[in-house]
Chain A
Amino acid sequence: MNLPTPSGMSRRHFMRHMAASAATIPALNFISHVQANAAQLKKNNKACILMWMSGGPPTIDIWDLKPDSKNGGEFKPISTAGDLQISEHMPKTAMMMDHLSVVRAMSTREADHGRGRYYMHTGYVPNPTVVHPAFGSVASFEIGAKRNELQIPAFVSIGGGGGSPGFMGMAHAPFLVDATGRIRNADMGDLPEERLDQRLAMLGVVEDNFIKSQRGEYPQAHKDIYQKAINLMKSPQMAAFKVDQELPETLAAYTGAPAQGGMMGNGGQFGRGLLMARRLVEAGVPFIEVDFGGWDLHQNVFTTLKDQRLPQLDAGIAALTADLEQRGMLNDVTLVWMGEFARTPRINQDVGRDHWAASWSVMVGGGGLKGGQAIGETDKDGTSVASGKAYLPGDIWATVARQLGIPLDTVHTSKRGRPMKIANGGTPIQELIS
């Protein structure tokens, strides 16, 4: 199928065009009408899903194409359901773009993987005096603590690292699972449940005696964390990690693979991760990070994108957005798509793109934000921000904080007593706020 449309094509025209090609891009139906109503009755949990593009994705080939520039590369833009164009290799996402916006005027100066990862996760530039919390840890601290019924840790990171809790402390560290939902050391093997109960009963005898002997807070804290671990293991909420409970068609829509047969690329892990993220949101987890790597494309950028990265990315974003919408959750779940930086507009001698932080794009959507927009713009070659205002990660996280209901005047205090503004004092992006 050939989707490129002349730029300037109207949205209505585009949608008709899409409808005509429905045979090749089926509408995404995730739940029946009855289920949808039931889903809407569920308590809506505000949450954020961060799609983390580890390695630094070339946003010039995905969200902000430059077909008329020598930097433009091989891909063409297509029109979308929103008022912006994106890559021709993102056709399914294009249909959902009325819910999603692209901030095209990011300018972040950190073009080293470690520093960029830190900066984009925390909103702060690395600094030897303090370790700042990743925003997921902030969400865990601010929201997770208030969700008493939640037994899963409030910051879950699927398939990646997730960053450091910094001065928020280890209680707010990302809880790591891989895309199959496996939690390290949670598999107790063939230990019968009554054995575990006997062990815990015996443990209680020793622990309670030690607590009673008056030695400060540590002994009780130890008992509490074991209790939390046990609660988690026995919790029905653990089902949220079990993506295989979904219909094969649903999983296939998320991964972009046929329902029967193999996954594509690296096992469709991104799609699985996103589907797990949706399940975790339903269980009440306020912040989930889903890692999707393989973007450090110093060579062969176009073939790799076309054949490997973008089909998975496209399927995943489109399916997640559609699924959340059909379940009535999209207004509560803010979606953020970013990497540590993007890639050079200039194409290098290996047909690759190198690290670039001066002018690039981050995708933000759902969560009650205005979709379908391009916020800011880069110049004709993509080498600098052409609109007046450039955006920092703090602005993205301030936008997310606002949608999650975290007051923007929240100040946290580092271990050394230094006050830290939430999202490094960033400002919510006005154009996104309805």
Chain B
Amino acid sequence: MTGMQRRQHFSWRVSAGFATALLASVLTLGTTASAAEERGFTTGSSDVIIEFINQQIRQGWKDNEVEPSPVAEDTEWVRRVYLDIVGHVPPVDVLEAFLADKDKGKRARLVDKLLDDPAYVRNWTTVWTNLCIGQQTPRRVSREGMQKFFREAFGRNRPWKDVVFDLVTADGHYEENGAVNYLLAQMQDQDDGVQLTAMTTRLFMSMQVQCTQCHNHPFNDWKQDQFWQFNSFFRQVAKREHRKFNAQTGRQEDDYSEIVWRDFTGPVYFEKRNGLMQVAFPIYQGSEIDPGPSTDRRRELAKQMTSGDRPLIASAFVNRTWAHFFSYGFTRPIDDMGPHNPATHPELLDRLADEFVKSGYDPKQLMRWIANSEAYNLTSKIGKKNERDNPGAGETALFSHMYVKPMSAEQLYDSLIVATNAHRAGRGGWEESERQRQQWLQQFVRAFGNDMAEESNSFDGTIPQALMMMNTNARPQGGDQPTLMSGAVSLESGSHLAELIASPGAPNVKIQKLYLSALGRMPTRQELTTLQKAIGLNRDPRTAYQDIFWALLNSNEFILVH
């Protein structure tokens, strides 16, 4: 592709006004002093990088003539930051303590506290396990092994580049070295590492090379031989699936899987569209690796991927993490970066990637910067002056208000546990609670996703999802397990609801507690009046409370992160 074509492509993607604005912001970069005057908001955390984020985002608002929404109220923000960092809604006691806290730096302190919460580790383990092996565990892959690997990675806050290095170079038993499960999951077909090549570039480097397996890419610079050069790094890897004899059944059964070394030297061969066979040697972004037998190609690849001032793995992780918090990253899709797909805030993306590298690839530090930024603290309410900031309709994301996103299946499950206080009722450690969670998530995956490649991990509007949430039948026909919602609104003794109803206090106090549990806020006057009236009309007030709680947990306000 020529430079001319590239420019046309660029101007097609980005509105002319915005492109000019970006240019202007580049020119004014040196004069950050004036930004200090504009600085109105702080979470209490002061950091030049947070200020840089705020200044860059503000510049985007100015250039596009939008005015940001106000800062979110504490109730809205606390719920959001809990869901984003630890993956569930805030417990009522924590929420009440936060609202009562008068310290100006309390938001920054909460961010720090959440980053050190064990649920942080669980949440990010879930996110990355799903990304690496999918929601439905592929054949002969150990989900537990993969989770163990990420639990350690996020628990010890390992540098992201070490995590990537381990995933790319992993070998051994799938429970002893959990990292191999990434490779096992991406090597389901006997496809010479094609899927593994495509996934590794997409997931860790936000590079979409998979189209170039068969042809040069029409829109970007990747060429077909580059795909196969990349692929040639993954030819020294093989999976072994071991079986063992079960004396009780008298049958062979699955034992364990492992990743082992496979002898491979020289080039790989691929077919051009014109039918000619070509060769590709292990070359990473122009630097060639010895194709001989003594080279450990994956190790060489991992070294290349994780070195340099701003390697692609840094930009890709920054972009993906930003999108986790804001629903939208700096590129769309987040895993397709490159000159053909310019970022909305290129300076900011580059600076964050640089600083992420300088921080020692510290994921918590990156999240700290993001969560303390002004944009992250704005309300999700949209005003007249920023209606245009609507990436859902295809507009450029300006981050002038928070974008609402549906909870993931795991967030929903964990939030129901917290909202119904079930997390207090002594769950038997990680293993047991994880087993229950997985068991339940299986039906969720079915209601949310389907049996093909495209998994759907969030509430995206299907009738089966709605039915699953609405149903409170404790004894479903066909022997299905009781619905999650039947447990959530159970009136049996010892349940959250039963205890709440039995506790002293007027109906309006009880309604307020239900609101705090489910929505993290107090009811409005109108809501309170309507619901109080409903309680009066019910012969058994217990059923009325049950129905209120059902309504709150089924509401859009509950299932959306806002």
Contacts and interface: CB of A to CB of B under 8 A. Distances in A.
A207 B559 CA distance: 11
Nearest to A222: B556
Nearest to B477: A187
Interface string B528-540: 0011001000100
Interface string A118-159: 100000001011010000000000000000000001000000
Given A161-B451, A173-B450, A229 B463 contact: yes
A421 interface: no
B464 A189 contact: no
A64 to B, nearest CB: 30
A195 interface: yes
Nearest to B465: A225
A182 B477 contact: yes
Q: Bin the interface of chain B by size.
A: 35 or more
Contact of B557 (A188, A207, A232): A207
A219 interface: yes
A23 interface: no
B551 interface: yes
A247 interface: no
Interface in A272-301: none
Interface stretch (B36-44, B158-166, B297-305, B467-475): B467-475
B560 A232 contact: no
Contacts of B483: 185
A73 to B, nearest CB: 31
A169 B531 CA distance: 37
Given A187-B473, A199-B547, A228-B466, A164 B453 contact: yes
Given A173-B462, A198-B534, A221-B461, A185 B468 contact: yes
Interface in A192-233: 195, 198-199, 201-203, 205-207, 209-211, 213-219, 221-226, 228-229, 232-233
Contacts of A416: 333
A239 interface: no
A41 interface: no
B524 A209 contact: yes
A175 B534 CA distance: 35
A85 B10 CA distance: 61
Contact of A131 (B453, B465, B538): B453
Contact of A165 (B383, B450, B472): B450
A224 B463 CA distance: 10
Nearest to B452: A164
A184 interface: yes
A188 B469 CA distance: 11
Contact of A215 (B473, B474, B478, B562): B562
Contacts of A223: 556
B463 A128 contact: no
A189 B562 CA distance: 33
Interface string A70-91: 0000000000000000000000
A207 B547 contact: no
A128 B554 contact: no
7 contacts: A184-B446, A203-B554, A205-B551, A207-B555, A209-B524, A216-B390, A216-B403
Interface of A: 118, 126, 128-129, 131, 153, 161-166, 169-171, 173-176, 178, 182-189, 191, 195, 198-199, 201-203, 205-207, 209-211, 213-219, 221-226, 228-229, 232-233, 416
**Closest 3 A-B residue pairs measured CB to CB?**
A164-B452, A189-B473, A202-B551
Interface of B: 194-195, 198, 208, 210-211, 213, 333, 380-383, 390, 392, 403-406, 443, 446-447, 450-454, 456, 459-468, 470-478, 480, 483, 519, 524, 526-527, 530-531, 534, 538, 543-544, 547-548, 550-552, 554-557, 559-560, 562
Given A184-B464, A205-B527, 10 more contacts: A170-B460, A170-B461, A188-B473, A189-B476, A202-B530, A206-B557, A209-B524, A209-B526, A215-B380, A229-B467
